[in-house]
């Protein structure tokens, strides 16, 4: 049952949060298992714009997706090395807070004001100002796609 619940979690919504001096922030309750066992892998986005947090199942699927690309075996191996080398395991505490790694926060520019963005099978943590800038740029793309699919 535990694994089934994790696999069915959909991360949706936008949540503004404040990160404390120790880089802790509260994850939305609806994104957490009631059992309190909430483990994620944290990894900076490829262009260091935000942190990606994903449950173990999603994390494991990334390697499989890399392996199915048309890249050479050497390129695949290097991509997998980078992916695993950049990732760090993080867990929530009893209050539903996650402690983010200092080096990752510095790399993506996270400080006090952050935004958590649901992204289906994972979620992202953005610097609030960077998120607002990105949202303005990405809105036109979303509107065009939404119109194309009849949303």
For the beta carbon of residue 135, count every other beta carbon within 10 angstroms: 14
**Residues 4-57: tens digit of each pLDDT:** 444 578 999 999 999 999 999 999 999 998 777 799 999 999 999 999 999 999
- Helical segments of 21-100, H only: 56-67, 73-86
Span 75-103, average pLDDT: 96
* Whole-angstrom distance, CA of residue 130 vs CA of residue 108: 10
pTM, two decimals, is 0.89
| pLDDT on residue 57 | 92
Span 97-123, average pLDDT: 96
Q: Taking the chain, what is the end-to-end CA distance rounded to the nearest angstrom?
A: 34
| pLDDT on residue 22 | 95
Report the Cα 143 to chain-centroid distance in Å.
Answer: 23
Taking domain 2-149, whether its CATH number is 1.20.1250.20 is answered by: no
**Domain range annotation of the chain:** 2-149
């Amino acid at each position: 049952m535990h694994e089934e619940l994790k696999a069915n979690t959909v991360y949706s919504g936008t949540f503004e949060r404040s990160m404390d001096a120790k880089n802790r922030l509260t994850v939305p309750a609806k994104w957490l298992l009631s059992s309190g066992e909430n483990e994620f892998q944290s990894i900076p986005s490829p262009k260091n714009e935000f942190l990606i947090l994903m449950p173990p199942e999603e994390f494991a699927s990334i390697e499989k997706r890399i392996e199915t690309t048309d890249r050479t075996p050497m390129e695949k191996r290097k991509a997998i090395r980078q992916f695993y080398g950049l990732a760090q395991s993080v867990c929530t505490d009893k209050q539903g807070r996650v402690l983010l790694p200092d080096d990752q926060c510095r790399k993506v520019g996270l400080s006090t004001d952050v935004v958590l963005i649901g992204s289906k099978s994972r979620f992202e943590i953005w610097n609030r100002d960077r998120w607002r800038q990105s949202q303005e740029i990405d809105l036109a793309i979303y509107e065009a796609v939404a119109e194309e699919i009849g949303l």
